[in-house]
Amino acid sequence: MRGGVAKPQQIDVSVVVIGAGFGGLTAAMMLRKERVTNFRIIERSQGVGGTWYNNRYPGAAVDVQSSCYSWAHHRYPWSRNYADQAQIVKYVEQVCTKEKLWNHLTLGVAVTETLWQEDRRQWRVTLSNGEVLEADIVISAVGLLSTPRYPNWPGYDDFKGPKLHSAAYDTSVELKGQRVAVVGAGSSAAQIVAAVAPIAGKLYVYQREPGWVVPKGDYDYSEEERQRLHALSDAEYRKRRWNDFRAVNKGMIFGQLYKPYSAFSKRRRKIAETYIAQTFKDRPDLKEAVTPKYAFAGKRTIVSSSYYPALLRDNVQLIPHGVTRLTETGVVDSTGVETPVDVLIMATGYDPANALKGLNIIGRSGKSLGEVWGDEPRAYFGITVPDFPNLFMMYGPSTHGGMIFTNHEAQARWAILAIREWRKGRRTFELKPGALKWYVKWLDHEASKTAWQETNSYFKNARGKIVTQWPWDAFAYAIMTRAFGRIAHRAK
């Protein structure tokens, strides 16, 4: 000891992170950077990667450049400009090794209850294996897209063939030569159709409503390109990544992409319409069927260069109707026609309104988060809720869209802010009720200007409220969370 004065020992805050997807791992890395060592990451799946670990359906891949779907400080030798599911999982595993996160991970275990203890000012987290954890801070990183939406069709249990969901796919089911039905017309459905069409005996695509599609332009890097990318210095790589981010974010500034009458949205719609006209110039029936009747970006835009060509194959039939029921051997559409199929693949999306209900998060009032929300999940910038002290959400309500990595970093930053207050002796960090009311009012106003209002999608709850989407761009989200974070909370 020099100078005769010992530095006071820093009491380490205890943190539980729920989920080992990109959000949870971003939070974990920021905890380590903040010198927090007493944290656990609880993941119900048997591996890391979250959605990307579970979504193993044929053709699963990102729809933004690989450089944008990665952490700036962790490079990876991508083989394609748009990474596929397998590479994403390998990348995440590599990052866990480099960041020394494996010792903090508990895999194959779910959280069954998260209870706030007012007298202790701590969370009591109960796990499915019977273990109970005490945590000063809880970071929920289960996200919005983690609970699959299964249809409630009559006859669902009668169907004798394999029933697969894109979010819980069984890779052992053989599709080669089979009669396969894909139900859905979103991004996952488009990827599945493109991948399954070359091997299926017959492929039926059930489309209740088409989505807008723009060409992806994905390709494998040549060996020369790989070497050139590998040779980039870290500074050059970050600059390239930054330019890719700016290009993706450009159309989302102040929500231009989502506003049907903006110049940017009109240009993107023109690209989509031209793509339809060129691809289906000899098939006016398909051209009519795949052209949406709603404004561009009313639903999530599909980015694919292989979906439309797959629909032109002789063994593929687009059925522009919804499914009404199943029989033992087939699918019945809304016109009453039954089609015999061997395998059913449901690309029917997620149930974002119920994403966090399984965690049974019970706040100071004794009510669970599910009870407080009902079917309308709301959180301040998707991160915090009144009466739930020291609880932070990654990728929570109204944060879908934009650039996921900048959003995650902004969200985790609030947990870090609370930890710094905790270390000053202030044990609770909680949102002021008035802040949420102001925020929801602004959010609803911005959402009312968008094309989302025109469509039925997972963006909305049963009453038509937009509950998943962030209406502006990623840079605005980062700036606003910095500006309005501390002032909207009280620490004591």
Tell me the torsion sign for CA atoms 351, 355, 359, 365.
negative
Contact, 67 vs 241, CB < 8 A? yes
pTM for the whole thing?
Answer: 0.93
**Structure confidence at residue 4 (pLDDT):** 44
pLDDT at 129 over 80: yes
Q: Euclidean distance between the first and final Cα of the chain, in Å? A: 34
Query: Which segments within 146-222 are labelled E, that is strand?
Result: 163-165, 179-183, 202-206, 213-214
Average pLDDT over residues 148-168: 94
Q: What residue ranges do the domains of the chain occupy?
A: 15-44+108-147+351-491, 156-218+242-346
Highest mean pLDDT pick, 6-10, 214-218, 255-259: 214-218
Q: Which residues touch 109 (CB under 8 Å, ≥6 apart)?
A: 42, 43, 44, 127, 128, 129, 131
27-36, 171-180, 186-195, 232-241: segment of lowest average pLDDT: 232-241
Q: Exposed, middle or buried, 486 (CB in 10 Å: 0-12/13-18/19+)?
A: middle
Beta-bridged to residue 489, according to DSSP, are: 431
**Structure confidence at residue 353 (pLDDT):** 67
156-218+242-346: same fold as 15-44+108-147+351-491? Answer: yes
Select the CATH number that applies to the domain covering 156-218+242-346 from these four: 3.40.50.1820, 3.90.1150.10, 3.30.470.20, 3.50.50.60.
Answer: 3.50.50.60
Owner of token pair 């596929």: 84
**Structure confidence at residue 1 (pLDDT):** 32
User: Bigger pLDDT: 299 or 359?
Assistant: 299
Q: Which residues touch 78 (CB under 8 Å, ≥6 apart)?
A: 66, 67, 87, 221, 229
How many whole angstroms separate alpha carbon 346 and alpha carbon 43?
Answer: 25
Centroid of chain to Cα 245: 18
Is the domain defined by 15-44+108-147+351-491 classed in CATH 3.50.50.60? yes
Tell me the per-residue pLDDT of 46-101, one tens digit each, with 9 for 90 and over. Answer: 999 999 999 999 999 999 899 889 998 999 999 999 999 999 999 999 999 999 99
Tell me the torsion sign for CA atoms 20, 22, 25, 26.
negative
Average pLDDT over residues 192-218: 97
248-252, 254-258, 335-339: segment of lowest average pLDDT: 248-252
Contact, 302 vs 214, CB < 8 A? yes
Q: Which of 142, 188, 167, 106 is nearest to 21 (CA)?
A: 142
pLDDT at 5 over 60: no
Structure tokens at 203: 């492929």
